Structure 1
Amino acid sequence: MMYTFEKIKVDQPLIHCMTNVVVTNFTANGLLAIGASPVMAYAKEEVQDLAQIAGALLLNIGTLNNEQVDAMVLAGQAANKTGVPVILDPVGAGATAYRTETTKRILSEVNFAVLRGNGGEVAALLGESGMIKGVDGSTTLPKDVLAKKAKEIFNTITVITGETDVVTDGEQTYEIANGHPWMTKVVGTGCLLGAVLGAFLSVNKENPVQTLAEGLAFYGIAGEIAYEQAKDKGIGTYQEAFLNVLHQMNVEQYEQYKKFSIIE
């Protein structure tokens, strides 16, 4: 049996990222590290063509503007026509009315394979109480309850990340306990995750919820191993180590570290 992260290196899927300017370089390098092929394209004149030939499309609203949002909708609808999975990262939803309403617009005009956000972001989209600090957020609602409600309302598999991660399609729900706090000290780790999950889905669509759980575990394990390698040197070294581990992780490490389980 070939693990999904091994299959990515074999298939080298093209991942179309419409992401924010803060994380473009890190996202591209992270995708290359796992064996995928990144393309960053935003012009409405070409996004439909690229989205239709990609293995997955990531829409990330971190530094949004109206022109980019219009292009995202065009790309998402084009991807829908050819069955390309689309992942939405609603960065900072709830921080401003513009972000929240823009995200709701995109959700209403594009069919998503995955909605990936933190508890505060997803709570804001559902009209639930949550706390937003900058583009980070949290909520007091249990992640599995929040994720199931989002699946029901938005009709998409929902991933809620935090100290532990939850992914659900409304029937299967996984909890993933991998990761390390230092991952929050490197700009772009959350945004790269959306692209990585897209790469996982692009090569393994058989059981999407399980595939996403494996992707979340893989990503969190990289954060843990990178900390072991960089803890005495600091955050700059940690970022480098994180990319290295994404590139070099083997099956033995994955099996040793993985901590995910079905909770329903």
Structure 2
Amino acid sequence: MNTQTITAALNAVREQKPLVLNITNYVVMNNTANGLLAIGASPIMAHSRDELAEMMAFSGALVVNIGTPDRIWIERMLFAVELANFHCKPVVLDPVGCGASSLRTETSRRIAETANCLIIRGNASEIIALAGAGAGAETAANNKGVDALDASEAAVEAARYLVRHYGSSVVISGEADIIVTKDGEIRLYNGHVMMPFVTGMGCTLSALTGAFAAVGDTTGLAAAAVLGVAGEIAAEQSAGPGSLQLNLLDALYRLDAETLMRRLKLTPSN
């Protein structure tokens, strides 16, 4: 995928305004909904089993974020993934805190096993933990809650394993965002050091990944490129994390193809 394809995906999201169904955590619902609206997509937060079948039928993609897991929500997540499979819709898995507890790790793996068209978006520690022994990694990665203690590059081999094992694409978020697919790897060097100080920034990327998947980009690259560039622009206008969160929504809303292409720092490798 080249820069022209990324900008075409951005235009497609704004033209088609895909509905993205989110089963996400209490902490980030507002952030992710506003992020989707700012980029031009349409968010819906659906957590009731009674409406999931109806909602999934006309949604463009499903985003499953396990950030505040419990038994009831896990059952609904798996049910929603089965519905997404039935309707041939892409599933974005955000394995928040995978490796921090056995519940999170086991839930993430069950969801990944169930999904047919899967994109995994996580930080390096979550990706390593999700791959576990299959990639020669320890199940308990360097993870402190939802914070990554591993660099993006440390998770590349684990991501390659996940691509092979689940037939998925993997987005490793960090100082460099690394997109790993069956066709190779792409590294993005956008974003800003202030971004990790805003809660739910990775969750916002997962939600945006769902919007772009709904219009055909199932690699996760376009979403990572857009959020990285928007984050840079927002940081230039921000005194700290509080104003960054507000300015990010404006930057997503105002981002155009010319700015995206001019600022994008992308390195492909195969």
> What TM-score, normalized to structure 2?
0.91
CA RMSD of aligned residues (A): 1.5
Match of 1:97 among 102, 109, 122: 102
Residue 229 of structure 1 aligns with which residue?
237
**Which moves more between the two structures, 93-102 or 132-141?**
132-141
Residue 218 of structure 1 aligns with which residue?
226
Contact 2:60 2:214 in 1 (8 A): yes
1:257 aligns with 2:263: yes
Contact 1:60 1:91 in 2 (8 A): yes
Residue 135 of structure 1 aligns with which residue?
146
CA positional deviation for 1:134: 1.5
CA positional deviation for 1:152: 1.2
Q: In structure 2, the residue corresponding to 1:204 is in which secondary structure?
A: coil
Q: In structure 1, the residue corresponding to 2:50 is in which secondary structure?
A: coil
Match of 2:188 among 176, 179, 190: 176
Aligned partner letter, 1:213: L
Aligned partner letter, 2:107: T
Q: Deviations over 1:183-231 (max 9, x none)?
A: 11111111011110111121134xx33xx2222111100110001111x
Q: Which runs of 5+ in 1 are unaligned?
A: none
1:108 aligns with 2:119: no
1:20 aligns with 2:25: yes
Match of 1:166 among 178, 181, 187: 178
Aligned partner letter, 1:139: D
Aligned partner letter, 1:261: T
CA positional deviation for 1:56: 0.8
1-side partners of 2:105 and 2:252: how far apart?
Answer: 32
Q: Deviations over 1:69-93 (max 9, x none)?
A: 1111111111111111110000000
Match of 2:156 among 144, 165, 178: 144
Residue 44 of structure 1 aligns with which residue?
49
Q: In structure 2, the residue corresponding to 1:17 is in which secondary structure?
A: strand
Alignment of 1:69-108 (within 5 A): 69-108=74-113
1-side partners of 2:127 and 2:200: how far apart?
Answer: 19
1:196 aligns with 2:213: no
Aligned partner letter, 1:155: G
Contact 1:58 1:86 in 2 (8 A): yes
Q: In structure 1, the residue corresponding to 2:178 is in which secondary structure?
A: strand
> What TM-score, normalized to structure 1?
0.93
Q: Which runs of 5+ in 2 are unaligned?
A: none
Aligned partner letter, 1:123: I
CA positional deviation for 1:238: 1.2
CA positional deviation for 1:58: 0.1
Contact 1:91 1:135 in 2 (8 A): yes
CA positional deviation for 1:144: 2.8
Q: In structure 1, the residue corresponding to 2:129 is in which secondary structure?
A: helix
The 4+ residue runs of structure 1 with deviation greater than 6 A are: none
Contact 2:97 2:104 in 1 (8 A): yes
Alignment of 1:116-127 (within 5 A): 116-127=121-132
CA positional deviation for 1:108: 2.3
Identity of aligned residues (%): 37
Contact 2:112 2:118 in 1 (8 A): no
2-side partners of 1:106 and 1:149: how far apart?
Answer: 16
